[in-house]
Structures are given as C-alpha cells and as structure tokens.
Structure 1
Amino acid sequence: MHVLILGAGFSGKAIAKAFLPLARSVVGTTRSAAKLAAIEAAGIDALVYDGVTISPELAAVMQRTTHLIQSIAPGRDGDPMMRPDAAPLQDLMPNLKWAGYLSTVGVYGDHGGAWVTEDASLEPVSARSVERVAAEKDWLAVGRGNHIPVAVLRLSGIYGPGRNAFCNIAAGTARRLIKPNQVFNRIRVEDIAGAALFLSERSMGGVFNVTDHEPAPPQDVVLEASRLMGVSPPPEIPFETAELSPMARSFYGENKRVSNARLRDSGYVFLFPDYRISLADLWGNDSWRG
C-alpha cells in the first residue's frame, strides 16, 4: 500500500498516522515549505503542492500511489485534481485502488434541526459548501468511470488534541452563544482517521457521514469542558447580540442533526461516539493541548 495525502493538515496528518503501520509509504503534501518539518515530525514523508503545479517528485509519488486521500478544499476554480486543465486521474495515478475525498456536512445546508442522512437533499448555503458539492460529484464520477471505489467522507465540526474547547477556555476565547434549538454535530479527528482506514481496507466507496452520535448545542460542550477543568464557564451570550465574523455567523445559519447510521451499519465502531466521552478522554490523559 502506497498512500498519498493531498493536504496533510489537522485531519490529513491524523489519517496518515493511521495508515503508517500498514503502508509501504505514506506521503503528505502542504502548500507551505515552512510546514514540511511538522509533517515529517509525525513520521510522514512530505512534499510541497500548491494545488496547481505537480513537481517531478510528487509526480513520481502519484505514479505509485494505491490509496489517496484528497483533503484540499476546492476553491473557486474547483478541485485541483478535477479542473479542466488537470491531467486525467488515471494517467497521474495508474495504480490507484481506492480514494477518499474529505467533504463537509455543510453540503446539506439548513434543515431546520431535522435529522439528515446521506440521501437528504443538498441545499448548500455558503460558497465553500457549493464548491464541495461540485467536487463530490466530480470525484464520484471519476471513480465510476475508472472503476475505482471513491468514498466521500462528509465531516462535521472537527476537533481533537490541540483543537478543542479546553484550548479555547485556556486561551480565554471560549464563548457560550445561546441560539434556541441550535445544534451541531462534531467529530474527533481520530475517528476521521479511523473511518478512512476502515473504508479503504474494505475498498468501500459511496457517501458517508463521519460524525458523532449526538448533535448538541455548542454551549453544552463548553459547559462540560469547564466542568472537567474545574473552572467557571464563560457567561451566556444571546446569539442576536453576539459579535461574530461573517463566517462564524454563517455556521449558525445551518441547523441539522446529521446521522452516522450508514457508517455504523457498515461496521465502523466509533472511538469517541459523543462529546462527553471525548472530552473526558482528552482531559483524563492530558492530551488536550496536542
């Protein structure tokens, strides 16, 4: 198994670590040469890829790649591997056996707090989610055309060691915004990695919601983290009066409960099925700082 992670950021590095014990090679890319050392420190070979120019070194890696994770956001010009001027995937990666595309539950848009499955209508609100819908379709079509299983992993709010409510409380940036009936799903980064490995080992393609079991109000997560830390929680702030960036406000414009039943029914067992179990783990083993 030769694994290539296009975009070895927070999730990509976790996925690479999950594949390391089984793979003959694992390579991750980053846009910045300054980030190469951080990827290599995790035991992952690293290359620079700006989403446009494929270096000779990266081209050689692509030629041997058998398992691919695409974690680079598409942007206005579309997915970097699917643009009209991009070389055909089968030419770049002739040995490819499975691909995973990291998407977002943002593709569903707002469903008024209702439960959504992978078969729900896609009603993306933000431009970034509209771009993800197009990229998903492209990847699934290329998979069908080349008889390669492509798994689209729709991720909810990502957190884990070094990126969590404890970090926000410690930094003094945590807030308890109150918007009645608002809920979000979230996912621990290790479960993203576990799900990717699970699907790849079984050559499974299709669309999967990779999210925890319990959609919950965001203020409840902050309250639980504060309890575990033994500190007073930040005060409640009505959503209507809160100062938020346009991006942050757009997140609160989408309200849904995302089901992970398809992934669970396929046999994947979540390491951290809800935020309480996950926060207790991060605090209990002192891994929350990263």
Structure 2
Amino acid sequence: MANLLIFGLGYTAKRIATAIEARGWEVHATGSDGDVDFTNIDAVTAALNSATHVLSSVPPDRKSGLDPVLDTYGQSFDKAWYGYLSSTGVYGDQKGAWVDETSPTGTGRRNARTEADDLWMKLGARVFRLPGIYGPDRSALDRVKAGKARRIDLPGQVFSRVHVDDIVSGVVAALTSDAPAGAYNLGDDLPASGNAVTEYACQLLGMRQPPLQTLEEADLSEMALGFYSENRRVANGKAKRVLGWKPQYPTYVEGLSSVL
C-alpha cells in the first residue's frame, strides 16, 4: 500500500491528505492535528522508514533560516518519493514579466525559502511553487467581510494566485503518476491585480469597495509591504503538460464564486 508521510498538516496539506486517503492511501503526518510528533525522533524515523512518499509543507524557520525538516531528518531521506510545497516568491520581482520553472531564483526577499527550495531540488524532490493561496475561510471574501480589505494605488501591479483545491489536484496528480523530479508552478491562468480581486469580492457580497489608497495611507505591515514590492506573472504550462493538470478554477472569478 502507498504510504504518505506529511510534514506539517496545515491548511493545504490537510486537504491533500483527505484527497489521497480517498484513493486508498495510508497517511501519517506531523503537526498539531497529525499523528506523529515531529520532536520524537524515533517516531518520525519509523514513519519515514515505512513511507513510500514524503511531502513537506513546512516553511523555513524565520529566525535561523533553516528548513526544519531537512535540518532534522534530511539524513534519513534515502528511498522515498519526495515533494515540497514551496513559493513562487523564489522568483523575486520581475516587473510584471512572466516567469516559469526555468527562470532564475534567489533574487527576491525570501532568501531562506529560496535556499530551502534549492535543497529540495537537489534532493530530487517534486517542488510545487505556489503563489497566493485562497479557498474556504481564507480569501478576499473574508477580508472584505472583516473590513480588512485594501485597494492600493499601484498601476500595473499584478499577482498570481491559486485555489487550494487546485493545489490539491496538482499534488495528487504528481503523487499518483510518478511525476519526474523538478519544479512545478501551480497557479491559475489569470494573474491579476489585488484590486480586481477585492472589487469582485465586494461585488459578490454586495458591499462597498474600500477606498483607493497609497501604500503610505494603507499603513501596511512589513510583511504586506514586502508582498507589494514584487510584481510578476507565473506561468503554469509545465504542470499542465507533465502532470496533465488543469485548474478547476482558472481565474479568481470562478474561484471566489465557488468559495461564496
């Protein structure tokens, strides 16, 4: 029986676990909702020894910059299929240009993420580079309803995004098809401005749009400011060709409508 060990059972990984269990796989995971204690070396080693597939959704440690999974258990990785949920932030700012898996990495603000991405690539993993993730209980709809949505006056600024269910279908396709090692961008077909997404969410909810603000007026957190410092469009053609993946929600219009 195929046996998947997931490091970090968070928002996206939980849905991956549910989807692959429905296919008859055995799944174990670390994290507060998992059944394996990450700090219990014997338990994790036993889980690794029985796993046919390993997937990590654990980001690098913010203080040390190290990947906790590879730093602690990397020496035990020697026989399974490996996958890693990374970020399209590794591509850095591209002034709105398109990037694909052949584009250089390491020019952005997420140096630790880029280093982790590179380590997993060298390990021979399937590295899924993800843009902004949205889905039930985590979307522009929730921000609008909570009064936290912003419209920022940055003409030409675009972002890529992906519905969580489309991440699930892409990762499951790779798990079940013995996909070649390497990077895969899983993003939708329509990079768009954050303003367009917020405006559509307001339209769906019948609520007034937040005012257009400058970055200074918006008084954003340092993390949010970093988000707006990068501008790129992420191509998804490789995932479609190699994995046979097709996003169920090709744009934010279908995605937000489904969440609603």
Q: TM-score, normalised by structure 1?
A: 0.83
For the 8 Å contact 2:106–2:114, the answer to whether it is kept is: no
- The yes-or-no answer on 1:136 pairing with 2:88 is no
* Superposition deviation, residue 246 in structure 1: 1.0
Structure 2 partner of 1:263? 239
Number of corresponding residues: 255
For the 8 Å contact 1:3–1:23, the answer to whether it is kept is: no
Letter in 2 for 1:260: N
For the 8 Å contact 2:7–2:69, the answer to whether it is kept is: no
* Superposition deviation, residue 176 in structure 1: 1.4
- The yes-or-no answer on 1:99 pairing with 2:85 is no
CA offsets 1:231-264 (integer angstroms, 9 cap, x no match): 1121211224320111110111110111111111
In structure 2, do the counterparts of structure 1 residues 28 and 224 end up closer, same or farther at CA, with 3 Å as the change threshold?
same
Q: Give the match's secondary structure for 2:82.
A: strand
In 2: Cα distance, 1:191 partner to 1:174 partner: 24
Q: Give the match's secondary structure for 1:231.
A: coil
In 2: Cα distance, 1:90 partner to 1:179 partner: 45
Letter in 2 for 1:193: V
* CA RMSD, 1 decimal: 1.7
Structure 2 partner of 1:9? 10
CA offsets 1:152-209 (integer angstroms, 9 cap, x no match): 1000001100101111111111111221110000011111111111011111121111
Q: Give the match's secondary structure for 1:179.
A: coil
In 2: Cα distance, 1:240 partner to 1:194 partner: 39
- The yes-or-no answer on 1:67 pairing with 2:43 is no
Matches within 5 A, 1:272-287: 272-283=249-260
Q: Give the match's secondary structure for 1:216.
A: coil
Structure 2 partner of 1:18? 19
1:47 is matched with which residue: 33, 36, 42? 36
Q: TM-score, normalised by structure 2?
A: 0.92
CA offsets 1:118-177 (integer angstroms, 9 cap, x no match): 111214332xx211222222222222xxxxxx2110000011001011111111111112
Structure 1 partner of 2:69? 81
Residue identity (%) = 35
Structure 1 partner of 2:101? 118
In 2: Cα distance, 1:46 partner to 1:276 partner: 37
In 2: Cα distance, 1:135 partner to 1:186 partner: 21
For the 8 Å contact 2:133–2:164, the answer to whether it is kept is: yes
Structure 2 partner of 1:41? none
1:206 is matched with which residue: 182, 186, 191? 182
Letter in 2 for 1:122: T
Q: Give the match's secondary structure for 2:27.
A: strand
For the 8 Å contact 2:3–2:53, the answer to whether it is kept is: yes
- The yes-or-no answer on 1:226 pairing with 2:202 is yes
In 2: Cα distance, 1:28 partner to 1:221 partner: 34
Letter in 2 for 1:27: H
Structure 2: 5+ residue stretches without partners: none
- The yes-or-no answer on 1:108 pairing with 2:96 is no
Letter in 2 for 1:180: P
In 1: Cα distance, 2:144 partner to 2:70 partner: 40
In 2: Cα distance, 1:177 partner to 1:259 partner: 24
1:56 is matched with which residue: 42, 49, 53? 42
- The yes-or-no answer on 1:155 pairing with 2:144 is no
Q: Give the match's secondary structure for 2:30.
A: strand
